[in-house]
Amino acid sequence: MTQSTDELSPERQAERDEVLTKARAAKEVAAQIAQLTTPQKNEILRQAAKDLSAATEEILAANQKDIDAGRKAGMSDSLIDRLSLDADRVAGIADGLNQVAGLQDPVGEIVQGRTMDNGIQMRQIRVPLGVMGMVYEARPNVTVDAFGLALKSGNVPLLRGSKSARNSNEKLVEILQSTLEAAGLPRAGVQLLPCETRGSVQDLITARGLVDLVIPRGGAGLINAVVTGATVPTIETGTGNCHFYVDASADLDKAVAMVINGKTRRTSVCNSTECVLVDAALPAADQLRVIQALQDAGVTIHGDTEELAALGVEGAVQASEEDWAEESLSMDICAKVVDGIDGAIEHIRRYSTGHTEAIAAQDADALLRFANEVDAAAVMLNASTAFTDGEVYGMGAEIGISTQKLHARGPMALPELTSTKWVLQGNGHTRP
């Protein structure tokens, strides 16, 4: 329940006032941003990329403050990885803006159109959503990604990052605001919201009339809090409890490589493989090989310890129900022997978060069944779960990966950040 204003402490009232003041400022400039031409938007994006690159040392200094504070607070290694920037990551963030500049502008695209029998010309046209709130955790790159995609799609971002990335986000937004200002645009074209309390999130997600859309990006707790507490429209970017099924027909060398890649490439991201399912029809030695390969890569195995011990697996940890159901975002993985593709599909149906599910198989029927019957935003056939990524899909820097089924599903980029309107042109027509 939202706290009434007369119950707020002076500090919370000041925080709430700041959120609403910035939301009003964003609403005021939304029309101006929406009318920017494609060349204007691309020039701003390319200049922002240059400005970020030029300020690399300043960004890294600010980021180091966050890292030091995170370590002092006992932040996990996986969260530190999400938080951390280096010169290469800053260069990658800047390049993401250049990639977005090179993408087709969705604004003004005619989705469909025809001439009615009475001669009225009708068109459905893509238009910006307006003010776009982003609520996210310890990933400074999201700050820049959200700015780039919002600007290219004609929207104004209101960014509510986590306290753990406060210094990094402040520096990044400061640079982006300076870029806008140099282009003759209001600094309110991108704003960072306060993050002292969780109340600021509630202020943002209930700002009806000022905020047109909110996108949460982070862990399950954050996403659920936003989706259930919002009174403005939301797009749910779900967590990634991603499974990889190794069928008896799989090329085992390739299967092992894909599982290792999906788990170890970067454990802190939502497309990381969190559970490996092994076909009971595989020879016991091959089942063991898959699991031992993970152990050799430094991954801790969770599962039914009796089942795993019978295969010859040593050092496994008994899995809890939470282990099966939730993403670890660490060098941990669940492992289970299943009764063929039927068992794999049933296990995935029970525990999937609808993000990415993958299979290794050479049997065409198994691949077809998996593709048709597994309900997820992305299904990988003989490919690592790591490929679920907007940049890999050619979208540029993604705003998030939607696991819902309305409006947008899977990696979201420019088209997903637009709505449409109908434009009808007549010649004095009246309806009988």
Q: Are residues 111 and 140 in the same domain?
A: yes
Q: What angle do CA 166, 412, 271 make, to 5 degrees?
A: 75
φ/ψ of 165, rounded to 5, equals: -115, 20
| Distances in whole angstroms, Cα of residue 87 to Cα of each of 63, 81, 122, 260, 391 | 11, 14, 50, 27, 19
Lowest-confidence pick of 109-118, 119-128, 257-266, 383-392: 383-392
Residue owning tokens 């076909």: 279
429 in any annotated domain: no
**How does pLDDT run across 226-258, given as a tens digit for each residue?**
989 999 999 878 789 999 999 999 999 999 999
Greatest alpha-carbon pair distance for the chain in Å reads: 81
408 in any annotated domain: yes
DSSP readout, 357-393? EEEE-S-HHHHHHHHHH--SSEEEESS-GGG--TTTT
392 in any annotated domain: no
Residue 70 has pLDDT above 80, yes or no: yes
**How does pLDDT run across 35-55, given as a tens digit for each residue?**
999 999 999 999 999 999 999
Q: Are residues 48 and 126 in the same domain?
A: yes
Residue 2 has pLDDT above 60, yes or no: no
The rounded distance, in Å, linking the Cα atoms of 57 and 4 is 43
Q: Are residues 50 and 86 in the same domain?
A: yes
Q: What percentage of the chain reaches a pLDDT higher than 70?
A: 98
Residue 97 class from Cβ within 10 Å (0-12 exposed, 13-18 middle, 19+ buried)? buried
397 in any annotated domain: no
At 8, the pLDDT band (50, 70, 90 cuts) reads: confident
The rounded distance, in Å, linking the Cα atoms of 61 and 362 is 50
The rounded distance, in Å, linking the Cα atoms of 14 and 256 is 54
**How does pLDDT run across 171-223, given as a tens digit for each residue?**
999 999 999 999 999 999 999 999 999 999 999 999 999 999 999 987 778 88
Q: Which domain holds residue 192?
A: 5-238+404-424
Q: Are residues 234 and 246 in the same domain?
A: no
Which structure tokens are listed for 419? Answer: 């709505």
Nearest to 354 by CA among 293, 294, 423, 401: 401
CATH code, domain with 376: 3.40.309.10
Domain count, the chain: 2
**How does pLDDT run across 147-157, given as a tens digit for each residue?**
999 999 999 99
Residue 253 class from Cβ within 10 Å (0-12 exposed, 13-18 middle, 19+ buried)? exposed
* Residue 407 confidence (pLDDT): 75
Contact in structure between 223 and 241 (CB atoms under 8 Å): no
Q: Are residues 320 and 199 in the same domain?
A: no
108 in any annotated domain: yes
Burial code of 18-38, b = ≥16 C-beta within 10 A, e = fewer?
A: bbeebbebbbebbeebbebee
CA 399 to chain centre: 6
The rounded distance, in Å, linking the Cα atoms of 147 and 158 is 9
Lowest-confidence pick of 48-62, 116-130, 164-178, 401-415: 401-415
396 in any annotated domain: no
Q: Are residues 209 and 74 in the same domain?
A: yes
The rounded distance, in Å, linking the Cα atoms of 397 and 107 is 17
Predicted structure pTM score: 0.81
Q: Are residues 44 and 184 in the same domain?
A: yes
The rounded distance, in Å, linking the Cα atoms of 383 and 394 is 17
**How does pLDDT run across 268-278, given as a tens digit for each residue?**
889 999 999 99
Q: Are residues 251 and 224 in the same domain?
A: no
CATH code, domain with 48: 3.40.605.10
